[in-house]
Structure formats: structure tokens, C-alpha cells
Structure 1
Amino acid sequence: MDSQLPSTMRACQWTTNTTGIENTLHLNPSATLPKNANNLPAGHTLVKVAYTTLNPFDYKVAEAPVLGNYILPKPSIPCLDFSGTVVATKNAELSVGDLVFGRTNPPFFGCLAEYVVVDSAGISKVPKGVSLQDAATAGIAALAAYQSVAPFVKEGSQVFINGGSGGTGTFGIQFAKALGCTVTTTCSTRNIELCKSLGADEVIDYTALKEDLPTALKARGKPFDLIVDNVFADPNLYWHSPSYLIPNGTFSTPGDTKPSSLVNIAMASFLPAWAGGGQRPFVFVRNQPKKADFEAIGKWMAQGKVKAVVEEVIEMADAGKGFGRLKGGRVRGKIVVRVGGD
């Protein structure tokens, strides 16, 4: 064992998904260190975690009947996002003491703990001028936003983002603006000013609509080059998109785990239009860790073009309550968990 490493670590763990992660997550002061912490595989890095953030993906996988019950190890440590300090590494691009951020790759979660092992695709150096707290937000949500926007736009593109005030939406607005796009987004009344402050050119208050969103977009009369649906609650937003998305425009979504949503995604993605598929290109963003994407996100944060939107910083002992709030669907930006701190 590395003499610098403790024999155990603090970690938030759950062992059952029967009553929801917010009720079953507990802080273990003497959890086992990550597998391979003392014998890193090639290209991997051991990180002492400073901060992590909570994502819907964390609890959706934990509470899934098959994944949660049979595939994830028990006890299980949630969270994919991290920022922290390199303790040991077999990644030639990193050195002990480097400040880093990124995300682990499912089914390996484990960031709601003092130590985590990360492969080379999921880790990047924290740029000078970016805090560890802010860097921790640039994992799952930022990557989903980047991969939903950047590949499909150019300067001057008209972009519509459905759901602008959550973790992915707040990043998506800023990424689209950094790329020179005009952005329209949706949010509730209380989040209008937030979305405008992030650069949204037009904000649709969905709580004040007298018709459904597809009808409102049709009435708007101006087509978009890209639609990013972070909500995917109403598949009609895609099925009616020929009325407000240019013929070669793209409809992208980070996706959802609800069976009804998966059926619609499958139909839109794989069936030709004559067989019931969509009439506009549909992209299901798979949110794969990619070093170049992390570097682009970090660069924009360092330049001040993109900022982290943090609703609250909580302690590890309150992570269960944090998941409960996240499941309520009214979080603005990100909930950050202080693990080791700065």
C-alpha cells in the first residue's frame, strides 16, 4: 500500500434502491478505498476529490430495477463528476499534485468519496483561474450540453434549447453563445432573468403559455437550425419539428430513461420517415467522456465565456437531501457537494 494513502476513506454509499437514494444514502467514515487505488492500471489516475456534483443520471441508474439491483456493486458510491488533486497516476500527461476535473464512466461512479480512480478519457487539468468548485460542475451536465450543441452549429445559427435553467441547460445557453449563435430557451417565470443573464436572446416562459410548446413555436414563425431538448417530456416537440426546424437542421437530446421516451427516441432514430420515423435528423447524445471536449469547456470557463451556475454547496452528510431536491426538478444549475474542499 502507498504510504501516503489512508487505509480507508469517507464515502457516501447506498445498498438498496427500494425507497429512493435520498432515503438510503449514508456517510460511511471508513469505506474501502477504490479498486486499484494502490495498483493503477495503465492510463489511470488516482484523484483526491475536492468536490462533486449531483446529476439525475446518478439516481436514475441507482434506482433502475436491473442496474441498481444486480449490476452496480454493493455498497455503491454515486456521482460521476469530480474535481480534485492527482495523488498517483499512470497517465503520461499528468503529474502528482496537478489539479484536475472530469467524470468517471458508468458503471463506475464513485465520486461521492475522498478518492476515485479515473481513466485518461475522463480527466483534464483545471485551467488557471478556474476554481475547483466550479470545475466540478463541468462533468456530465457540461459534457451533455457541449455534445448537444457544438457539433451541429456554426456562427449565426439559430438554436432552441428546451429547458434552460437546469444543469445542462445553463451550460447549453452559454456554449451556444460562445459559438456565436442566437439562442431561444424555455424556463419557468422565476428563471427568466437567470437565462437572460447567461446570454439567451429570447426566453419562453412555459408556465405562461396558453397553448402547448409545439404550437407556440409554430406561431413564432422563425425556423431554428438546432433544437436541443433537455426535457423530452413531450415527444411532439420532435414530431412537429418540421414546422420550426429547417430541413437539414438537427434535433438533439441527452435522452431520458423513461420507457415511453426510449420508444420515441428509437422510432425517431432508426425508422425512415415513410415508416413512421422522423422527418428531421435526430441525435441521441450519448455523453461520452472526451478529453478534447473537457479542454474546450475548461478554456471557455477560464476565459469567462462560460460560468458555473451553482444553486448550493452542501456537505457530504447532506447528499441524500440534495438528491431529494434534485428529484423535485426545480434546481437552478448545479448542486455541488464539498468532499475534501479546496
Structure 2
Amino acid sequence: MAPALPTTMRASRFSDTTGGLEKNLKLEDAPLPKDASTLPDGATLVKVEYASPNPVDYKMPELWLYRRLAMTLPAIPCGDYAGTVVVSKLAHLKPGDRVFGRSDPPASGSFAEYLVVLSNEGVVPLPDGVSMRDAATLGVAGITAYQCLAPYVKPGSKVLINGGSGGCGTFGIQIAKVLGCTVTTACSWPNVQLCKDLEADEVIDYRTTNPVELLKRNGTQFDHIVDMVGLPALYYNAHHYLKDEGVFILIAGAPTLSSTMDLLQMFCLPSWLGGGRRALKFHGRKNNAKEYATIAGWMKEGKVKAVVEKEYALEEAPDAFRSFKTGRTRGKLVVKVAAG
């Protein structure tokens, strides 16, 4: 029998994004997710304890066309979460189980006390010894870092990660090291020590050194490159420091005309017109329960940790987005959704 549920929940919602999501979020008593009482097959209702924002969580809602065609307003942002199972249509989950993962649209957002996760790939049992706060950071950043590295590297691979101090970058450094790689990363000088503490073998301060010119001079030949910032020059010059068979993975990009044009040029411009000479892939994260479990297992073993710059209460959700949008976040931000 399904447990008795309240009729409303605390949620940080928005009905408009004019001027930015952070100016429109309001803490309200909202209705429970529409599928909460009659879950579809394969779905799970979670009581959320922690959530964590990502760039996609504000970039997409702030796009007028996306908001108009793909969203029902008012809406609840974010999808990364950690919490406890209320009820599940999955045989391996039971009420009270600690879980984490990512809920993607059209399901409800994680800045709310209750969340419906429609796919079994987005809800994963949380190992004992891993906190919900840390697990909530894995939904996008952790899995993206894993998927950008694991299929392409092997022990001994030399990896370059551009943007080592952000959410994906801090996970990327650690995951690459777990996979046996030698890691070079680039970040700004305030974050150099952070990247060293995460065991990066070489850290380039891009504020004092042009990373592209330094890489060209050094002569190191990397097996794999992941650009978590979006620096076109890094790709156009990659033939100087990425092996012929190497792959350049790009994950960053803003939903703007200039960024879209940059991407089109990177993918379409032939090498004889100044385009890149190495394989280029744009990575789009995909929920994968087995991969989530692998990363959480490394967390339990102490091989990977969440770098959390600050924790916010749910009523402070606008401040979390405001801080996130500065582009200077070290690791991840988390929001404590559960009251108290």
C-alpha cells in the first residue's frame, strides 16, 4: 500500500525567467508532482534531502523557445538529487532506501521536497558511508566526467582537462587518476592548489600563462583531451599536443548565437581552412545507473570526493544560482531541500 502523502510540498518555483532564474525563484507551497500518487511503470517517488544545480538547469529555462515549447509553468528547477524512496515501481527499491541520481524533464525538479524519477537509470541505491550531500553532486557533473574519460583512456594515458576546478573538472581529475592516468589541467590561480590537492600531476594557471602556447612549447603528446570550459583555440591547435588517434571531447557551450556559431565552425570547418585536425566530439550526458554506482563506490572507498564550495537552504536557492552564474564556483554548490 502506498504511504499517505501530504497534499502540498515546499518547493522553489518560477513562472518566468526574465532577468534570470535567480530573480524569479520563489519558495512556495506547491502541489505534489502529478505522478506522485499513481506512479507509472519504472518510476520512483523520492523525498529529497539535497539537490545540486548545474549550468543546464538555468541555461535551458532561460531560453525563451525552450520555456515556451518544453515547459509547463510554474516549474521547479534542477534534477540532481539525493534522498529516500517513498514508493517505487522498481523491484530492487523499497520505501526508506537511500538513493541518488538525476531526474530529467518532463519529470518534476529537485528543488522540492518530493521528486518523481521516471527512469530506472536515474535512481541508484546510495552506498553506506556516502553522505546524501555528496551524492547529490553526481547527477550531472560526476557522470559527465566519467563518460568523457572512461571509454577513451587506459592506465598510463596522458590526459588534459581544461577547467579542472569546476564541478565536472574536480570530478574529472579524480576519476582520471582512479583510471590510472597522468593528468594535466588548466585553471585560474586561486584554484591551482585545489587541483594539486586532487592529485593533478601538472596545473597550468591560465591567468599568467597562455595554456595553448605553453602546450605547444612543451611538446607533450596527450592521449585524450576534455575541454570543460569551451576554448576554441585549444581545439584548433590540438594537433600540436594531441596524438593522431586521440579524441578531443567538448562539454561546454552556452545557448547563445555566438557559442552556437563557434560550435558549428569547430565541427564543420575543414582543416585546410584552419579547422581542427583531430577527432572532435561534443558530449551529452546520459543517465546510467551502473556508472553512477561505480562513482559512488569510489566515493565510499575514498578514491573520489565531492568538492562542495557552499551549502544553501532551499529558501536561499536564488542565491545559489546567483553565485553559480559568476562562473567562479570551486567544485559544486548544494541545496539542503529537507526542512530543519
**Residues 204, 211 of structure 2: 8 Å contact kept:** no
**Residues 236, 274 of structure 2: 8 Å contact kept:** no
Other-structure match for 2:261: 263
Residue 58 in 1 paired to residue 57 in 2? Answer: yes
Unaligned runs of 5+ in 2: none
**Residues 9, 113 of structure 1: 8 Å contact kept:** yes
**Residues 155, 179 of structure 2: 8 Å contact kept:** yes
Q: CA deviation at 1:320?
A: 0.2
Give the aligned residue type for 1:153: V
Deviates more, 1:60-69 or 1:305-314: 60-69
Q: CA deviation at 1:187?
A: 1.1
**Residues 9, 30 of structure 2: 8 Å contact kept:** yes
Q: CA deviation at 1:227?
A: 0.7
Residue 297 in 1 paired to residue 276 in 2? Answer: no
Within 1, Cα distance between the matches of 2:107 and 2:281? 25
Q: CA deviation at 1:258?
A: 3.3
Within 1, Cα distance between the matches of 2:236 and 2:105? 31
Within 1, Cα distance between the matches of 2:315 and 2:334? 13
- Please, which of 225, 228, 239 is the counterpart of residue 236 of structure 2? 239
**Residues 235, 261 of structure 1: 8 Å contact kept:** no
**Residues 108, 116 of structure 2: 8 Å contact kept:** no
SS for the counterpart of 1:62 is coil
Other-structure match for 1:95: 94
**Residues 186, 211 of structure 2: 8 Å contact kept:** no
Give the aligned residue type for 2:21: I
Q: CA deviation at 1:188?
A: 1.2
Other-structure match for 2:208: 208
Q: CA deviation at 1:284?
A: 0.9
Unaligned runs of 5+ in 1: none
Other-structure match for 1:253: 250
Give the aligned residue type for 2:242: L
Within 2, Cα distance between the matches of 1:287 and 1:108? 17
SS for the counterpart of 1:207 is coil
Within 2, Cα distance between the matches of 1:269 and 1:95? 46
Shift of the 231–7 alpha-carbon distance from structure 1 to 2, 3 Å rule, reads same
Within 1, Cα distance between the matches of 2:315 and 2:52? 14
SS for the counterpart of 1:69 is helix
Q: CA deviation at 1:224?
A: 0.8
Within 2, Cα distance between the matches of 1:42 and 1:230? 36
Shift of the 300–131 alpha-carbon distance from structure 1 to 2, 3 Å rule, reads same
Residue-by-residue CA offset, 1:195-253 (whole Å, 9 max, x unaligned): 011110000011111xx332121012111111110000x31111111011000001002
Other-structure match for 2:324: 326
Shift of the 214–298 alpha-carbon distance from structure 1 to 2, 3 Å rule, reads same
Other-structure match for 2:194: 194
SS for the counterpart of 2:22 is helix
Within 2, Cα distance between the matches of 1:341 and 1:163? 34
SS for the counterpart of 2:50 is strand
Within 2, Cα distance between the matches of 1:42 and 1:296? 25
Alignment length, in residue pairs? 338
Residue-by-residue CA offset, 1:251-295 (whole Å, 9 max, x unaligned): 002231333333343444466656875321111111011111101
Other-structure match for 2:76: 77
Superposed counterparts of 1:1-342, under 5 Å? 2-28=2-28, 30-118=29-117, 119-209=119-209, 212-232=210-230, 234-256=231-253, 257-269=255-267, 273=271, 278-340=276-338
Within 1, Cα distance between the matches of 2:107 and 2:65? 16
Shift of the 315–284 alpha-carbon distance from structure 1 to 2, 3 Å rule, reads same
Residue-by-residue CA offset, 1:167-201 (whole Å, 9 max, x unaligned): 11000000000000000111111111110111100
The alignment yields a C-alpha RMSD, in angstroms, of: 1.8
Within 2, Cα distance between the matches of 1:252 and 1:109? 30
Residue-by-residue CA offset, 1:91-121 (whole Å, 9 max, x unaligned): 1221111100000123445100000011211
SS for the counterpart of 1:172 is helix
Shift of the 336–92 alpha-carbon distance from structure 1 to 2, 3 Å rule, reads same
SS for the counterpart of 2:284 is coil
Shift of the 259–226 alpha-carbon distance from structure 1 to 2, 3 Å rule, reads farther
**Residues 309, 329 of structure 2: 8 Å contact kept:** yes
Superposition TM-score, scaled by structure 2 size = 0.95
Within 2, Cα distance between the matches of 1:199 and 1:36? 44
Q: CA deviation at 1:150?
A: 1.1
